[in-house]
Structure 1
């Protein structure tokens, strides 16, 4: 059984919940963070920066497996940064002799039409898989949970706007997934031999348009959200609109909006044979996120 697990990005949205879940399962968790003195979550904090090979080597020394959960979405040159970080981490993981890397990436068809954000996630996945350490990759769309960027945008739009003028991307289909299900899958693929080196698509039980997510999130809270779609709202204008209405910074909003016109739906359900069990519906996922 895998004993010592490194969680990169342990202070982040997914990483903080994952570190807690792994600790509850009895794993020895090393919570890798750039600022271990500020860390107050589950596991033992260890200093590590994915752009610093020496710090990664120290964090991974003696570990059995690692979760790779970092990205640079708040940077204008995030594609180059994400690729460089992945190469550094893959080399350090090989030197440390890890048994497995588990990576959380993004859904989307490999048809050459991925947005820069999703293309970067897929590039990171490819770089990690090019190394000698077996990689288990999970691909997800919008994660519904308190603190997640996409969910916070949804929550704040519903909270602040009784009516919206929306761009065309609100008609794009996606398959949101509840945070507890993401954590269940991440923990569930760590041990099974049949998960080594494989790619799994994960999602909740419903395929929704973004406008459906907004109106149903409003309905859960007893509100009605009026929407008028305006085709002339370009990605640049709509990202500026998001940055104005929500507390998401402009760079992150711009990088996210570029992805919202890409359909992200689960087509491969093989994860259900490795980590079986029902997933949480969208309305219940919203209720859980609002309570967190």
Structure 2
């Protein structure tokens, strides 16, 4: 339900019904900010407990008029929009970002906070990460300050990258680990990322780039094995040579039941080193994060097993994608099985999603 119009909000969150946006809004409200939630389908707002506390604004990013109206009276705008699929998604994302930057300038917005991805050193970027960087470039045509928060893999129930790992490990008793999974990454918990995003709202001076990475640098191979251990799953891991990404995409989509276009976008990034530049790490460029306590890899993975746990930002919620979730859940500090594994489906005792 849309809240009656009152004093114009100072913060706009685009992609408000998405994974990060829906969790960022409660943080901003708790900090005392007036918030406007922009979404293409405002009817979706009723699924969130914060619906009555924000001004829900209709915004299709392809419609310049709707973008302009959504930005009216806004001081800071969080740009959380990006595509992972569809023909020409990169050019579409560039176009949307350029339109948003133009309308934000006209509306007198002072700052845009953009959530992008960590940029690996050297080498060719995947389509997914290339698009994230291109969007950042387009947003910098905005006349005000642009703070690009570049994050690595986000750990939390409902996060697409986390769900891909969760579902592969839960549903395969024998897990192949291609050589490219030796790439080094620095995953960040959703709780830690939200703290960085909130701090980016009024960081002074506004940093151009903030690398948001957690405290533990590991390989993808180690991440997969750590999840299996934290979830209490005994798995056999087999190291295999480097194989073309396309060989893995279709089996991974079938096993995980994650939409194929999403898997196509994510799999190639498994071979990229995604670690922060030390001088750009949030702890170095945003002074207000000095007291922020990073969440360890194991703690983030364990807490991500929770479901519908009030006050737990890592927990899967009813508003997350229908395909999200897994076999192992953490309930009252105990791991329980729900019968969603691949072998359970073969036995006819498991769920199909």
Q: Judge same fold: TM > 0.5, yes or no.
A: yes
SS at match of 2:229: helix
SS at match of 1:104: strand
Name the residue aligned to 1:230: 240
Name the residue aligned to 2:347: none
In 1, Cα distance between equivalents of 2:76 and 2:121: 27
Name the residue aligned to 1:279: 294
User: Does residue 1:103 correspond to 2:118, yes or no?
Assistant: no
In 2, Cα distance between equivalents of 1:145 and 1:14: 10
Q: 1:31 aligns with which of 37, 51, 55?
A: 37
In 2, Cα distance between equivalents of 1:45 and 1:3: 11
Q: CA deviation at 1:233?
A: 3.2
Q: CA deviation at 1:225?
A: 2.3
SS at match of 1:290: coil
Paired residues of 2:40 and 2:60 also in contact (CA < 8 A): yes
Paired residues of 2:83 and 2:93 also in contact (CA < 8 A): yes
In 2, Cα distance between equivalents of 1:250 and 1:237: 13
Listed one character per residue, the Cα deviations across residues 27-77 of structure 1 (whole Å, up to 9, x for unaligned) are 111110001022133222110011111101000001111000011113232
Count of aligned residue pairs for this structure pair = 290
Q: How does 1:125-140 map to 2 (within 5 A)?
A: 125-140=136-151
Q: CA deviation at 1:156?
A: 0.9
Name the residue aligned to 1:239: 249
Q: CA deviation at 1:168?
A: 2.7
User: Does residue 1:198 correspond to 2:208, yes or no?
Assistant: yes
In 2, Cα distance between equivalents of 1:217 and 1:108: 24
The worse-fitting range, judged by mean Cα deviation, of 74-83 and 98-107 is: 74-83
Listed one character per residue, the Cα deviations across residues 75-123 of structure 1 (whole Å, up to 9, x for unaligned) are 2322111111101111111011101000011112363521111111111
Q: Using a 3 Å threshold, how does the CA distance of structure 1 residues 222 and 252 change in structure 2: closer, same or farther?
A: same
Q: Which fold has the larger relative contact order, with Cα–Cα distance below 8 Å and residues 6 or more apart in sequence?
A: 1
Name the residue aligned to 2:272: 262
In 1, Cα distance between equivalents of 2:203 and 2:278: 18
TM-score by length of 1: 0.95
Name the residue aligned to 2:178: 167
The structure with the larger Rg is 2
In 2, Cα distance between equivalents of 1:34 and 1:13: 15
> Which structure 1 residue ranges, 5 or more long, are not aligned?
none
Q: Using a 3 Å threshold, how does the CA distance of structure 1 residues 48 and 97 change in structure 2: closer, same or farther?
A: same
User: Does residue 1:209 correspond to 2:219, yes or no?
Assistant: yes
> Which structure 2 residue ranges, 5 or more long, are not aligned?
1-7, 307-314, 316-353
Name the residue aligned to 2:261: 251
Instruction: Give the ranges of 4+ consecutive aligned residues of structure 1 lying more than 4 Å apart after TM superposition.
Output: none
In 2, Cα distance between equivalents of 1:254 and 1:229: 22
Q: 1:82 aligns with which of 89, 93, 103?
A: 93
Paired residues of 1:75 and 1:252 also in contact (CA < 8 A): no
Listed one character per residue, the Cα deviations across residues 218-253 of structure 1 (whole Å, up to 9, x for unaligned) are 111222222113326321111112101112111111
Name the residue aligned to 1:51: 62
RMSD of the alignment, in Å?
Answer: 1.6
User: Does residue 1:17 correspond to 2:33, yes or no?
Assistant: no
Paired residues of 2:9 and 2:36 also in contact (CA < 8 A): no
Paired residues of 1:167 and 1:234 also in contact (CA < 8 A): no
Name the residue aligned to 1:288: 303
Name the residue aligned to 1:155: 166
